[in-house]
Amino acid sequence: MATPVTMPMLGLTMEEGTVAEWLKNEGDTVTRDEPLLTVEMDKGTMEVPSPASGVLRRIVVQPGTTVPVKTLIAEIAEPGEVIAPLSAAAATPSGGGAGPGSMPLAGGPGDLPWRGPTNAQIAAAAAASLAGPQHVVAAAATRLFASPRARLRARTLDLDLRGMTGTGPQGRIVEADVLAASTAAAVAEPRLVATPLARRLAQEHGVDIDTVVGTGPGGRITQEDVLLAASSGQPPAVAADTAQPATGGVLPLSRLRRLTAEHMASSAQTTARVTLFLEADFSEAARFRAQLQPEFARLGVPKLPWDALIARAAGLALLEHPALLAQWVDGLGLRSPDAVHVGVAVALEPEGLVVPVLRDASSRSLRELARDLLALAEKARAGRLSPTEMQGGTFTITNLGAYRIDGFTPIVNSPETAILGVGRIAPQAVVIDGQVQARTMCSLSLSFDHRVVDGASAAAFLARLAELLERPYTLLGI
């Protein structure tokens, strides 16, 4: 019996998802738990494994289509198995117009209707049964053996594993074979290779991707290449009236923009937000960071981001002021998380933001936090964050210093109670002991829910946070 592939529920609040890319084509052999497709959801894009081994017999939902969770999106069958045709309603992701006897969009194998095979299907099944042994032998002969790293590298380089000669054990295709094939293909005939996100951004910005120069591995076009081409004024690939709405028209919101707007509006309406401002002296922190960066690089961490340093200080300050970790639960009271997990807002291009979470920011080393933050930020900009990497935060940091913003009033990231806004870190003239001195200053703004915590408690936390950053050597642990 064919195995249905349905839109998975990748988060507790996920109601629908968008098929971003099929990693297999119809007719390809798939193995259970092998990456089958990527799904774009509320907080990023995630690979979905195959629920069964067999042949991807039918793709029902095409890339770019949004459907509710548990909607049938594909079917996997045994080699040679004949599957029943889909009804017109079942092939429509929205489920609109479904009539009696049509296949439901959401359900398991028992929900599939049986209308009886057609004469053509009966003939095909009979032919398959007569040629059974030969078919099995042919399937075994054409089965593709490749390592997981080889498959991942092939998808990255947009290469077809079929036709490659494997040099691994028993002829298995390994990563070195894929890289060799990529080099040979580039010499024989240069190919345009671009990430799915880069192609989508090129379409949104009206950039002709055929003219973009790739700077990624093997000349792969990345999102940064597309954005650079867009900012340099490259001629659009489509007519202007299709790239932007006409005067007075409405440009539809992207899914991420819409969900971000809804979440921010809900937080602003349901929390009693108050914002405190404090000017902190980052002079010593700047020296501290400059001293640590070479050592971090030697240990395999390219740099020490300011946000990692601030997250570590926030984690220690939150241990001393746990009231800011409490979360409001309507009708019940306050919930107290059992750990300090600090989220760091990452802006996405062309719009939207995500908040990957640094786990146990109060107990892990500064180097570990820096390493994890760099990896999470890279995954976020590539659209590859998993739901678990964005869940469970108890405090959030949002930094607009790179945009020369001195101070702002951030919106609390519900259900959390507080969020820290970080302004630019820059030299300023400051009076110290009656003398004007040049110091490296930073404006910190703490927005908090006054229903959960009082102003004095929030102020004490912010003062302690600033103190830790002004004496940063305590962040290494005592």
Catalogue the active-site residues: 450, 454
194: DSSP letter = B
Going across the sheet that includes 44-49, the strands are: 44-49, 35-41, 16-22, 66-68
Q: DSSP of 401-469, one letter per residue?
A: GGGT-----PPP-TT-SEEEEEEEEEEEEEEETTEEEEEEEEEEEEEEETTTS-HHHHHHHHHHHHHHH
Q: Which two tokens stand for residue 131?
A: 């040629």
Amino acid identity of residue 316, one-letter, is L
Q: Are strands 395-399 and 418-432 parallel, antiparallel or unpaired?
A: parallel
Asked whether 226 and 205 are in contact (CB, 8 A), the reply is yes
408 within 8 A of 251, measured Cβ to Cβ: no
Dihedral class, residue 80 (left if φ above 0, else alpha if ψ from -120 to 50, else beta): left
Q: How far apart are CA 453 and CA 430, in angstroms?
A: 32
Distance of CA 18 to the CA centre of its chain: 13
Cα separation, 394 vs 415, whole angstroms: 8
Rounded to whole angstroms, the Cα distance separating 186 from 153 reads 15
